Structure 1
Amino acid sequence: MLAHHTLTGPEDAPVLVLGNALGTTTDLWSDFSLPFRLLRFDHRGHGLSPAIDGPCTIADLAGDVVELLDHLELRQVYYCGVSLGGMVGMWLAAHTDRISRLALVCTTAWVPDKGRLDERIAQLRSSGMESVADTIMSRWFTPLCPPDAVARFRAELLNVDLPTYLACVEAVREMDLRADLVKIDVPTVVIAAAQDHATPTELVRQTADELPDSELYVVGDAAHLAVVEAPRTISVILDDHFGNDLT
């Protein structure tokens, strides 16, 4: 299964892979302008990527990225991931040599509050995606986010294949990458959002503290999808972090 993807930007620039949050597509990065060759992809069952039948793990989702890199003949890349995309990035950096620099946005190495995910899984199974969409939007965005942006991402969420989405939620629930953090020996920038109630700053900080070579930033006026609400601020951080390797 090859993930749907786009590869855009200067052909002679370093490749930066952009990993999406659960329930989003490559549109997550539509407001970003970075001086790299950008590889965007959709997780399985999201956007134009094929759905799956059965369970999956974070390692499986990371395997999709490795398959994509092999297909494009990319030996080593930069990687930036949001939420689920960040979890995939941590696995890749810990278990492969394909990542030379890493950025983690509004993500965590484990989920201590598994009860919240259990409730979401039960509600999804009984009532479908529409029943959780508004709650998810309230976690993704602050009240100041433009309504048209919220509506766009809500519509994308509703188009995600439900069985695959459930499999990905269960993968997040079962994930524990804490022991892998010390294996990540590449420069890493970690970005939290002050108004992120899905992955609170303190949880993000715990992940950053366990990484051997990391720097933590906290973005103020943003919630879980901080790359949508604060793209310019995050672009500057990413440009500085990945640009350090260009000289």
Structure 2
Amino acid sequence: MRLNYVETGSADAPVVLLGSSLGASQAMWAPQVDVLAKRFRVVAFDHRGHGGSEVPAGPYTIDDLGGDVLELLDTLEVEQASYVGISLGGAIGLWLAEHAPERIHRLVAICPPTNTAANPQPWIDRAAQVRAEGTKSITDATLSRWFLPEFTDTDPVRQLLLDCPPEGYAACCEALSALNLLPDLPDITAPVLLITTDSDQSVPPETVVPLAPQIPSAHLEIIETAAHLVTYSHPQTINPLLLTHLT
């Protein structure tokens, strides 16, 4: 599976992978890339079915999506990297830390879903809707969950959602419908920074906060007055946390 990616920073620096949210491409990391690239070799990639990556027919699984990242590391000839992921990207990061611990140096999981298999039907229904009507049919509802009303600079993110291939979006929804990362959380060995927000409607904080005691060496941060896509709306808060943990 060929994943599209963009590299920034020195080729000799430690590698940091950036994994995006469902429906977005690597462009969503614009508020982070330049800051991180001063210290790291930053590789921002598109999940399969997203952005410039290949779009195979679904359904996909979390094993598929995590395996794609391992193949990307092999392509880059990188034995070990740190990983920052939000939403779907955060779930993939946790999967990597569980299933390929030798490849993950440090992990930041931001608003990560971990047990959507407990209520799979909304994801199955959303996949069917997007296949039938396109991503335009879910864009307004998604933005209302991703940002608080007072954050209005949402047009670039809206365009990312509109540009997302419907099959890729739907197939990743199907991966989420079967997701359960909880059993293997205690096996994670990488230092983990968990970030959630007080107003996340997509992955509510009450589903993220209990993860911290289950993960050895995990540190939890709760961002106030913020919703789901906190990397985009609150970079002034998120970026220092990333630098501290990754460094």
The equivalent residue for 1:22 is 22
Aligned-partner Cα distance in 1 for 2:128–2:55: 20
2:144 paired with 1:138? yes
Residue 94 of structure 1 contacts residue 180 of structure 1 at CA under 8 Å; is this kept in 2? yes
* Corresponding pairs, count: 241
2:194 paired with 1:190? yes
Aligned-partner Cα distance in 1 for 2:69–2:108: 16
2:88 paired with 1:107? no
Residue 124 of structure 2 contacts residue 173 of structure 2 at CA under 8 Å; is this kept in 1? no
Shift of residue 208, structure 1, vs aligned partner = 2.1
Query: Once structures 1 and 2 are overlaid, which stretch shifts more, 31-40 or 189-198?
Result: 31-40
2:214 aligns with one of 210, 217, 223: 210
The equivalent residue for 1:77 is 81
Aligned-partner Cα distance in 1 for 2:122–2:203: 12
The equivalent residue for 1:92 is 96
Residue 53 of structure 1 contacts residue 163 of structure 1 at CA under 8 Å; is this kept in 2? yes
Residue 131 of structure 2 contacts residue 167 of structure 2 at CA under 8 Å; is this kept in 1? no
Aligned-partner Cα distance in 2 for 1:13–1:222: 32
Aligned-partner Cα distance in 2 for 1:127–1:15: 38
Residues 108 and 208 (structure 1 numbering): CA distance in 2 closer, same or farther, change over 3 Å?
Answer: farther
Structure 1 length-normalised TM = 0.93
Shift of residue 113, structure 1, vs aligned partner = 3.7
Shift of residue 81, structure 1, vs aligned partner = 0.5
The equivalent residue for 2:235 is 231
Aligned-partner Cα distance in 2 for 1:155–1:196: 21
Residue 108 of structure 1 contacts residue 207 of structure 1 at CA under 8 Å; is this kept in 2? no
- CA RMSD for the aligned pairs? 1.4
Shift of residue 220, structure 1, vs aligned partner = 1.2
2:43 paired with 1:39? yes
Residue 145 of structure 2 contacts residue 201 of structure 2 at CA under 8 Å; is this kept in 1? yes
DSSP-derived class of the 1:103 partner:
strand
Aligned-partner Cα distance in 2 for 1:175–1:5: 25
Residue 221 of structure 1 contacts residue 229 of structure 1 at CA under 8 Å; is this kept in 2? no
- Percent identity of paired positions between Structure 1 and Structure 2: 40
The equivalent residue for 1:58 is 62
Aligned-partner Cα distance in 2 for 1:114–1:137: 21
Q: What stretches of structure 1 move > 6 A for 4+ residues in a row?
A: none
The equivalent residue for 1:117 is 123
Residue 221 of structure 1 contacts residue 230 of structure 1 at CA under 8 Å; is this kept in 2? no
Residue 133 of structure 1 contacts residue 154 of structure 1 at CA under 8 Å; is this kept in 2? yes
Residues 126 and 54 (structure 1 numbering): CA distance in 2 closer, same or farther, change over 3 Å?
Answer: closer
Structure 1 gaps of 5+ residues are none
Aligned-partner Cα distance in 2 for 1:122–1:43: 20
> Which residue identity does 2:192 align to in structure 1?
T
Aligned-partner Cα distance in 2 for 1:69–1:55: 23
DSSP-derived class of the 1:222 partner:
coil
Structure 2 gaps of 5+ residues are none
Per-residue CA deviation, residues 1-32 of structure 1 (Å, 9 max, x unaligned), is: 22011111123321111110010111111011
Residue 58 of structure 2 contacts residue 170 of structure 2 at CA under 8 Å; is this kept in 1? no
Structure 2 length-normalised TM = 0.93
